[in-house]
């Protein structure tokens, strides 16, 4: 990482760094060194804006060759990001956090030459993209992960500025152009694991800032989603349901099918079911199923609503369809659909008095991935919880009569 020397980009754009990695940090000594190591060879300019660390974070950054600047925290992530952006020199800006690291596909080491080659000379048909994204995998603890796609690279000379005091974005308001998903690089995020959350009090901070953001702009569907998400994570599901419902109602038509739209639909449907609004979920999912009839996770959500409404035969059929459908190639799909559907089948079988078939379904769920509910139900049924390692069918008579 080359961080020293004065920029000559104004006089000679060809000499500007290719990638500026921009971070905002506070007391990130636990994570920062690993993050910066993952940027080696990728970013030739690293900017670290420190909002008040007391644990040696700034010294770690300086030793790694980053340019470090202080920033007086003002409850506004966008303002801090923009302070880092003002110092960036690169043709491309990479947004990354201290508790994240760049990796290659599947967690392998990232290949800097491949990524930088793409950025220096995009492949035919890709040169017009203003922003680039990558897969992001968050460790939630307990063997659970959350996987999504996020835009993290953009062209600095567009003059974009960050907005939103929390869950900030660099896209101008109303931006509708697609961004390109890079296949050669991913981000791994450790900051949402429960043990990390407890030591950093991120949840309380996020709730406070989301409440401020929604109060400032009550028509912002994006902020209602993020506030609802944080409230649900804090166990305040009744309040979460109200904001997630509002996000679903306010989301503009042009967002339909986007990653954010799918996250709103999924999270709102899940939380609304939990708080006893399954009939509403079923009604809201109708148009979604019409638009995306082969989306497996929508079938799962429909199964959840039907199960909560005590309509086991229909719920069983919806879960089975979620298992049978292949991934739909949507902008955002949860990776655990089939496991979740098997778990749902187990709950249905238990509800109609078929514990043996429920056990089989729970084992199939666990064979496909960690499922805390299936594990708990198997324990409650006093059976072993090892999966068969195959995707067998529940016997024909397992479905509700």
Distances (CA, A) of 152 to 80, 119, 169, 187: 16, 13, 9, 10
pLDDT digits (tens, 9 = 90+) for 64-90: 999 999 999 999 999 999 999 999 999
**Average pLDDT, integer, range 51-61:** 97
- What is the pLDDT, as a whole number, of residue 394? 42
Same domain assignment for residues 64 and 163:
yes
* Residue 171: inside a domain: yes
Tell me, yes or no, whether 262 and 326 share the same domain.
no
| H or E element at residue 288 | helix 278-291
Max Cα–Cα distance, the chain, nearest Å? 77
From 162, 195, 228, give the residue that closes a domain: 195
CATH code for position 112: 3.90.550.10
Q: In this structure, are 302 and 399 located in the same domain?
A: yes
Which of these ranges, 7-16, 65-74, 240-249, has the smallest mean pLDDT?
7-16
Q: What is the DSSP string of 336-389?
A: THHHHHHHHHHHHHHHTT-HHHHHHHHHHHHHHS--HHHHHHHHHTT------S
Q: Could you give the 3-state DSSP secondary structure of residue 21?
A: strand
Region for residue 349 given its phi and psi (left: phi exceeds 0; alpha: psi -120 to 50; beta: otherwise):
alpha
Place of tokens 């198997």: 378
Better-scored residue on pLDDT, 371 or 274:
274
Q: In terms of domains, do 143 and 235 share one?
A: no
CB 285 within 8 A of CB 318: no
Q: Does residue 129 share a domain with residue 236?
A: no
Tens of pLDDT along 183-216? 899 999 986 655 555 555 788 999 999 999 999 9
Please classify residue 303 by burial: count the beta carbons closer than 10 Å to its beta carbon, then call 0-12 exposed, 13-18 middle and 19+ buried. buried
Helices (H) and strands (E) in the chain, counts: 15, 8
Query: Residues 49, 106: one domain?
Result: yes
DSSP 56: S
Q: Which of the residue ranges 101-110, 119-128, 325-334 would you say has the lowest mean pLDDT?
A: 325-334
So what's the pLDDT on residue 12? 52
Q: How confident is the model at residue 57 (pLDDT cuts 50, 70, 90)?
A: very high
Residue 13 has pLDDT above 50, yes or no: yes
Q: Is residue 362 part of a domain?
A: yes
Distance of alpha carbon 24 from alpha carbon 99, whole angstroms: 11
In this structure, is residue 3 part of a structural domain? no
Cβ neighbors of 346 (< 8 A, separation 6 or more) are 358, 359, 361, 362, 365, 374, 377
Q: Identify whether residues 26 and 134 lie together within a single domain.
A: yes
In a domain, 4, yes or no: no
Q: Into how many domains does the chain fold?
A: 3
- The verdict on 250 and 111 lying in the same domain is no
Say whether both 47 and 152 belong to one domain: yes
Instruction: Clarify whether residues 307 and 375 are in a common domain.
Output: yes
Q: Domain range holding 104?
A: 13-195
pLDDT of residue 382: 72
For residue 5, being part of any structural domain is answered with no
Q: What CATH number corresponds to the domain at position 219?
A: 1.25.40.10
* Digit-coded pLDDT (tens) for 133-191: 888 888 766 666 777 888 999 999 999 999 999 999 999 988 888 889 898 999 999 86
Q: Is residue 217 in a domain? A: yes
Say whether both 253 and 381 belong to one domain.
Answer: no
Indicate whether 88 and 39 sit together in one domain.
yes
């Amino acid at each position: 990482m080359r961080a020293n020397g004065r920029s000559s980009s104004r006089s000679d754009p060809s000499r500007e760094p290719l990638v500026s990695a921009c971070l905002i940090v506070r007391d990130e000594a636990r994570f920062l060194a690993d993050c910066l190591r993952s940027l080696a060879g990728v970013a030739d300019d690293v900017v670290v804006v420190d909002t008040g660390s007391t644990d040696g974070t700034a010294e770690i950054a300086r030793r790694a060759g980053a340019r470090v600047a202080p920033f007086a925290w003002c409850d506004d992530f966008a303002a801090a990001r923009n302070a880092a952006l003002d110092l960036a020199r690169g043709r491309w800006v990479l947004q990354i956090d201290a508790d994240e690291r760049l990796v290659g596909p599947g967690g392998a080491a990232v290949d800097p030459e491949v990524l930088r080659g793409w950025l220096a000379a995009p492949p035919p048909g890709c040169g017009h993209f203003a922003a680039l994204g990558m897969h992001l995998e968050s460790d939630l603890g307990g063997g659970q992960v959350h996987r999504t796609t996020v835009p993290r690279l953009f062209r600095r000379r567009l003059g974009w500025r960050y907005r939103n005091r929390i869950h900030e974005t660099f896209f101008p308001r109303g931006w509708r152009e697609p961004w390109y998903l890079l296949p050669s690089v991913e981000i791994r995020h450790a900051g949402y694991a429960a043990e990390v959350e407890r030591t950093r009090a991120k949840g309380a901070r996020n709730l406070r800032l989301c409440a401020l953001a929604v109060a400032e702009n009550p028509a912002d569907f994006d902020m209602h989603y993020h506030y609802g998400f944080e409230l649900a994570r804090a166990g305040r599901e009744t309040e979460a349901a109200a904001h997630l419902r509002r996000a679903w109602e306010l989301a503009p038509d042009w967002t339909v099918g986007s990653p954010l739209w799918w996250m709103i639909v999924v999270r709102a449907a899940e939380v609304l079911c939990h708080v006893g609004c399954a009939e509403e979920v079923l009604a809201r999912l109708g148009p979604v199923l019409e638009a995306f009839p082969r989306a497996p996770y929508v079938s799962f959500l429909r199964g959840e609503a039907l199960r909560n409404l005590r309509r086991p035969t229909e719920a069983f059929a919806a879960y089975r369809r979620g298992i049978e459908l292949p991934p739909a190639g949507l902008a955002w799909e949860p990776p655990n659909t089939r496991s979740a559907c098997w778990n749902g089948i187990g709950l249905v079988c238990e509800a109609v008095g078929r514990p043996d078939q429920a056990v089989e379904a729970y084992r199939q769920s666990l064979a496909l991935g960690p499922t805390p509910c299936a594990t708990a139900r198997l324990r409650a049924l006093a059976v072993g919880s090892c999966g068969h390692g195959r995707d067998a069918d529940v016997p024909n008579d397992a479905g509700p009569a």
